Structure formats: C-alpha cells, structure tokens
Amino acid sequence: GAVVSQHPSWVICKSGTSVKIECRSLDFQATTMFWYRQFPKQSLMLMATSNEGSKATYEQGVEKDKFLINHASLTLSTLTVTSAHPEDSSFYICSARGSRADEQFFGPGTRLTVL
Amino acid sequence: AQKITQTQPGMFVQEKEAVTLDCTYDTSDQSYGLFWYKQPSSGEMIFLIYQGSYDEQNATEGRYSLNFQKARKSANLVISASQLGDSAMYFCAMREGGWSQFYFGTGTSLTVIP
C-alpha cells in the first residue's frame, strides 16, 4: 500500500527556535495533505489542510504565522513550528488521501519536545 | 456540533471475547466515508476498516466488522476474539464527500485482559 513518511520522527529543541517537519508521499502524488496535532491521551486535532501550489487552509484557533505550511510539490508538505515554546510540545501527524475513497494514509508522526 | 462522537473513553474486554466500540456521526452529506483506526503506544495510525455511505453491506476485515446503521448514524466497531495485542486507542473517523477534511472522534482506550 501507499506510504507516507515523516521526518524527523522525534525532535528536541530549545524554546525560541524553529523546527521543520517534513511529510512525504513515497509512491503516490498527494495534492492535499493534512496536518494534525495530538496531545497525550487525546484525539488528533486537525490543524490545517495543505494544498499543493496554494496556501494552506488553517482550522480555527491555529496560528498561521506560528505554524507555517508549505506544499511545494505533489509529494512533499512541510510544517514549520516557528519560535517554538514548551506548549507546542506535541505529537504531529500528517495524512494524505489516496486515489480511492477508502484510502487515507498517515505518516508515523513526529514527537516534538520544546525545552 | 461534534462530527464524530465516541462515548466510551475506556473499555475492558477479556481475551478471546468480542467487544463493541461505539461511534456516532453527524453529517448532512449523502456521500461520506467512515473509518476506524487503531493507535498503539508507538503513535502510528493503523487502518482497520472502512464503510462508505452507499455500501449496503456492513464492512468486515478479518476479526473486525463495522455495524453500520445509517438511519441512526452509527458505525460501531466490533472486534471478535480479542487478543492482548488489541490493547490500544481506537479512533472513529469520517470524511465527508470530495477531498474535504478528515474528522476524528475522541477515541476509546481498549484494554484486553488475559
């Protein structure tokens, strides 16, 4: 089946630094990718919808300037957490829809810890 | 209003027994898809089963079956013959039509007891 990869799988950074997370569709083209954040023992919360070649659509309450999303190609979307703070520590997961209605592929997630 | 509601934060089941995880959804779309995912402690989302809104038969995948009751807007997951490895978080999700967002429920933590 199709695979979505994320890099890095985990990252620890100092408060105030920026962190970039990559999401790649390895064997299919993904015009639309989704970014989620998951806090411990909670559900996945949709942060934004990333569309190739256009601006991302952010969910209400998600700061566009803090969580920069770029979807420059059909196989790569990036999420940059700018000026990260400890409250940004979370598990970030990307997802892409496949060509069939029953296909929704998820990356393995990136665990971000901000000190 | 919540798109997906899972009312069971935690469930326990004896090994080898069956368990039903509840899920109700809310949509005005005619075309939608319902998904169940398993998330072990590693965090990866493991696809279990899919039900399309136009599918007349309940979906089945091995030990997993989906009890789809369209009029009641429910899509309960049934796991038969539970195994210790089934202990994990389970999420119900929905995609409405086209390429729109993918909504998750709050999840149910399942613990299988030996």
Provide, as residue numbers in chain B, all residues whose Cβ is less than 8 Å from the Cβ of A95. 45, 102
The answer to whether A46 faces chain B, any CB pair under 8 Å, is yes
pLDDT above 70 (res B36): yes
pLDDT of B66 above 90: yes
Confidence class for position A103, pLDDT limits 50, 70, 90: confident
Give the pLDDT mean for B62-77: 97
Flag whether pLDDT at B99 surpasses 90.
no
pLDDT bracket for residue B98 (50, 70, 90): low
Distance in angstroms (rounded) separating the CA atoms of residues B36 and B68: 12
**What is the average per-residue pLDDT within A35-61?**
91
Q: Taking residues A69-88, what's their average pLDDT? A: 93
Alpha helices in B41-96 (DSSP H): none
All residues of chain A having their beta carbon less than 8 Å from the beta carbon of residue B103 are: 46
Nearest chain A alpha carbon to B104: A44
Q: Give the E-state strand segments of chain B in sequence order.
A: 4-5, 10-14, 19-21, 24-25, 32-39, 46-52, 60-61, 64-69, 74-79, 88-96, 102-104, 108-113
A101 shares contact with chain B (CB less than 8 Å): yes
pLDDT at A24 > cutoff 90? yes
Measured between beta carbons, which residues in chain A are less than 8 angstroms from residue B91? 43-44
